[in-house]
Every structure is written in C-alpha cells, then in structure tokens.
Structure 1
Amino acid sequence: MKFEITHETSYLFSSEVFLEPHYFRFYPRQNSYLEVQDFSMYIAPSPKGQKQILDDESNTVVFCWFEGMTESLTITTKSIIENKPFNPFDFILYPQSFNEMPFKYDETQKKSLYFTLEKQDISKALSDYGKDILKASENNTIQFLSQFTKQLHKDFSIEYREVGSPMSPDETFILKKGSCRDLAWLQINVLRHLGAAARFVSGYYYFDMEVPAFELHAWTEVFLPGTGWLGLDPSHGILTGNTHFPIASSAHYENTMPVSGGIRGSANSKLITELTIKKI
C-alpha cells in the first residue's frame, strides 16, 4: 500500500526578520517495512544554501542558511511511502534474561545507550504507577510493555496542543491528560526508571477516519536486544505498526522538532500547519 503525505508548515512574522541557520526534520525514516519512494521539500524564502546531513542520532536533517529579510518562512514537503505487511510481535528477546524486567544491558550497550537511559526525577506516585503495572504483568517484559501502553491510553485523556514542549511527566500524571508528546515523555521516563533505554519519536500516524484530520504525532521506542527499537504508542494503546511513519528519534524531544532555528528581529510569530495523508 502507498501513502502520500503532504505537510506544510508556515511561520508568519509581524515584521521583517533575518533567519538564522535552520534545521528541518521532515524526511521519513526507512526500515524493513517502510520504503520512501519519493521526497520533495520546498522552502520559501529560498535558502542561500542547504545540505542534507545525518545528525548525531542518525536522523536525516536538511540544514539551511539564508540571506536577506523576510516576513514569513514556509516549508512544504511531500513524501510517497510504500509499506509492507508487518507484525510488531514477530520477534524474540535475546539473551533470554531480557524476557524479565528489570533487566541489565551489558557494558558496551550501556555506553551506546547512555543518553536514552538518563533519568529525570519523577514522583514516587508515578514511579509506583509503573511498578504496579510491572508487578501485575509478573515482570514479563513484553506483557508489561504492552499493558503499560494500553493502561496509559485507558487512564489518560488525549488533547491536541499544537505548540510547546511536553509537560513534565509528573504534571501529565497529575492532570491525567495530555498531548501525544506528553504521554510519550511520561512513558519514556518511567521506562528509564525501570532500567530500560527509551527514546522520543516524532512522525506521522495514519488511520482511517470519517473526517481526516491528521497532525504530527509522537510515540516511544524502547531498546530490547533481539528486536532493537520497539515502538509503543501510548496515545492509542498499541505497539507501532506499518502506518506509523517515523521522522526523527532522540533521547530528548528537543532533537526531534521538525523546525529548529532562530531569528534576528523583535517580531511576533504565528504558526500555521496543514497535514494530509492519503492512500494512493
């Protein structure tokens, strides 16, 4: 099955500004069941120069620099992606010790996974929330990850918030509601406190709906030897499948933002986005 994804992002400034160098993260990540067959990016104003690079976490990034003044910045991308059948449960964990949590990575893995194991403080209540689900899952790794993801979907209300960083895990836990990025960041931090390497993923998610209204999506990936990075979508209570289209992943959400860069000037800005995903 093929999908066409068109994503337009516009910043409108209240007065002219100078655009500092910018990083754009819109290129979908390929894997064994997702093939990017075509990708195009249109940027206005046209950059003085641009270069496609891999960042330090192997995400494809378009780095651009500009000249002159402008009252707007628009990035329009179009991706054609073909997916293949995919069973997210078609794997084994190896060594077998990883079938039970908490587990321990070997020393080499600890070094390469260092930042995805980095903890931030969370409350005892939130820590106990994760531990209670782990206990109910009899410490079975896959049962726990699946149930934890389902439980977040059940216990929290999802709300749309177009801009802003994720709330702190404890704030989301207290409110019992949040955006997709809030739930992902909560899940990531609970997993890290249980000794599992976890990272933040931004991308697109397609599912059938009567009135299509898509938006940039966020979810979690956890590293399990034998399967690699396993995707968990707490907003929908599922493991990620072949209609989750990842763009960028990082130990920290700031490094997955689709647009990052500064301006010179004192203008206010307004963000307008439009995203369409359709089968072709």
Structure 2
Amino acid sequence: MPLLNVSHITTYTYRQPVAFGEHRLMVRPRESYDQHLVDARLRIEPRPSGLRWVQDVFGNSVAIATFDKRASSLVVESQVKVDHHPAEIQKVNIEDYARLYPFTYAAEEMPDLLRSIERQHLDPLRQVDSWARQFLHPSGKTETLAMLSGMTEAIKRDFTYVSRAEKGTQTPIESLTRMKGTCRDYAVLMIEAARALGFAARFVSGYVYNATASERRTGGGNTHAWVRVYLPGSGWVEFDPTNGIVGNRGLIRVAVARDIYQAVPVSGTWSGFPGSFLDMEVSVDVRVDGQVKSPSNAAAGGTGKR
C-alpha cells in the first residue's frame, strides 16, 4: 500500500501578455476503495479571480478557474499525496454467467451501461471488429478475462509506442494501420474493440508509476491513459494496453469518461494577438514515499509535451 507523491505541472507560454477565459482542470485523483487522497494542493499562476469545484456527470472532480489579469504564461501545478492499494489480476472476480463470452449484462445494469457500449468511431469496413474477434477462441468457448487480457497484451506486444507532441488522438483504424501510437491512441483502440464485442468500456486519464525499482512502466513524465471495462462481479476493471497491465497496479485514476474529450486534464481559452501562443509543457513526477529518483524509475517522472 504505497503512499505516493504526485507532482503535475502544466505550463503555457505566450509571446506577450494574453487574457485567459474560463479553464477546467481535472487533476485531482478520484477517491475510491483502492486509492485515497491524503493531501491535495493546487497552485495557479497568475492567481485566478475565481476558483470553484464541481463534480461532472462521471463523478470526476473539476476545478473551474476564471481570470481578470493578463499574463505571458499560465502555470497549473497540482501536488497530491495518494494512499494507493494495488490489486492484481487474481483479484478480478467475475460472476459465473459472465466468465465465458458471449454473455449479456444484467437487465438492471444495462440502462446505465448502454452509452459506454455505443461505438464512437466509424468502422465501415469492420476493421476494428475483425481485429477484436481474433481474440475469440475457435471453439466458441472464450474466457472473458483471458480474452481482454490477451487484447491488452497484444497491443503492448505488437504496436510501437511513440510519444507525440501534436494534439488529438488517432482513430482506431489509424492505429491499426500504422501499428504505433501513444497511450491515448491505444486506449481509444481498445475501447472501440471492447465495445465491438458488446462490452461497456470507458477512457481513463491519470498517472502511471513504478511500484518497485525493478519495474519500468511506459508513459511516465506525462499524464497516462488506459481503459476500464465493466465485468459483472468486479465492476469496472483496469486494462492498460501500453504496459500490458490488468488491474490497478501502478495506475492512479484521475478522470474517467465515456469519451477521451471528456477527460482533458487542462482545457480553456485565451485571447490576444494571433501567433501569441508559444508552447505548452507538461511535467509529471510520481514518487513513492522514501523512493529516490533514479534511472530505474524513469517512467515515473520527467517532462513532455501534449
């Protein structure tokens, strides 16, 4: 049960002072049975004229900041301490009726899961469907958890992870064609593949860290993205196709949403002369209490651009 210190700093720079519109900040980790927020501090520079907290439709904590001063930079710094309780794949319990695929969600759960089953991307040639169905056992008896675990591992094994500074996300078909992408591309692909098979799946934004000195997680130094799939008996289960993780080991949830664009860590507007925007830099460092930063935990810290 490691106690984690998370530093998440987002910095925007401009050629000259600009005015800032409303900004939505999703940097506060979610409270749950497996992760507890011990302390949270949010620093914004320039200091906002107003700051209020709301919970969105998914229960994510969102800070809404307004400004009355112009500035040539905007810094959002989140410092949190989280008590994390990692769970391994062996802890995933599935109801008997759902152990083998296909199955149907219970009637009382289906109305609330439907929007998370709906496909979000066009797939006219059924390319995502075909890719997803390769994980079904030829005999027709497919173990649900083994299938989803196999899909998670296949993306980690067969695709090339590349960091990308440009905004936006590849479509699932682009990811299949290029066989490479970022963690958010992998998450979107797996969500669509799971939905193609009838599963309820959601996008998760948060942080990844090395629980031990021997682990080397991919995706550190920035916010991380992965998937949650609803499995009767355990509820929402984490699947990280970037690192081949099943369960929450090394993963800290911040925001959960039906679509990636509902879980943007920092979003907002600014106004000024055209061409004023220079750069955006993101720095994320996750440190286990007492852990000294070294090459062995490089996935936990660093800087990157989104």
TM-score band (shorter)? Answer: over 0.9
Structure 2 match to 1:227: 234
Shift of the alpha carbon at 1:92?
2.3
Structure 2 match to 1:42: 43
Structure 2 match to 1:104: 104
Structure 2 match to 1:258: 265
Structure 1 164/53 Cα, relative in aligned 2: closer, same or farther at 3 Å?
same
Shift of the alpha carbon at 1:91?
3.4
Q: Which is worse superposed, 15-24 or 197-206? A: 15-24
CA contact (8 A) 1:103 1:196 kept: no
Structure 1 match to 2:303: none
AA aligned opposite 2:277: N
Shift of the alpha carbon at 1:46?
0.7
Structure 2 match to 1:83: 84
CA contact (8 A) 1:33 1:242 kept: no
- 2-structure distance, mates of 1:142, 1:199: 17
Deviations 1:253-276 (A, max 9, x none): 011111111122232241012121
AA aligned opposite 2:150: Q
AA aligned opposite 1:101: Y
Structure 1 177/43 Cα, relative in aligned 2: closer, same or farther at 3 Å?
same
User: 120, 128, 131: which is aligned to 1:129?
Assistant: 131
AA aligned opposite 2:246: L
- 1-structure distance, mates of 2:9, 2:217: 19
- 1-structure distance, mates of 2:173, 2:249: 31
Q: 2:282 aligned with 1:273, yes or no?
A: yes
AA aligned opposite 1:144: M
- Please, which runs of 5 or more residues in structure 2 have no aligned partner? 290-306
Structure 1 15/230 Cα, relative in aligned 2: closer, same or farther at 3 Å?
same
- 1-structure distance, mates of 2:126, 2:149: 22
CA contact (8 A) 1:20 1:65 kept: yes
TM-score by length of 1: 0.93
Structure 1 89/30 Cα, relative in aligned 2: closer, same or farther at 3 Å?
farther
AA aligned opposite 2:130: D
Structure 1 match to 2:115: 115
Q: Which is worse superposed, 150-159 or 162-171? A: 162-171
Q: Name the Cα RMSD after superposition.
A: 2.0
Structure 2 match to 1:25: 26
Deviations 1:178-216 (A, max 9, x none): 000001100000111110010110100101468995221
CA contact (8 A) 1:202 1:216 kept: yes
Q: Which is worse superposed, 120-129 or 245-254? A: 120-129
- 1-structure distance, mates of 2:44, 2:23: 11
Deviations 1:108-157 (A, max 9, x none): 42321232111132243332121011236942111101111111111101
Structure 1 match to 2:68: 67
Structure 2 match to 1:5: 6
TM-score by length of 2: 0.85
Q: Which is worse superposed, 167-176 or 80-89? A: 80-89
SS for the counterpart of 1:133 is coil
- 1-structure distance, mates of 2:191, 2:86: 27
Structure 1 match to 2:295: none
Shift of the alpha carbon at 1:104?
1.9
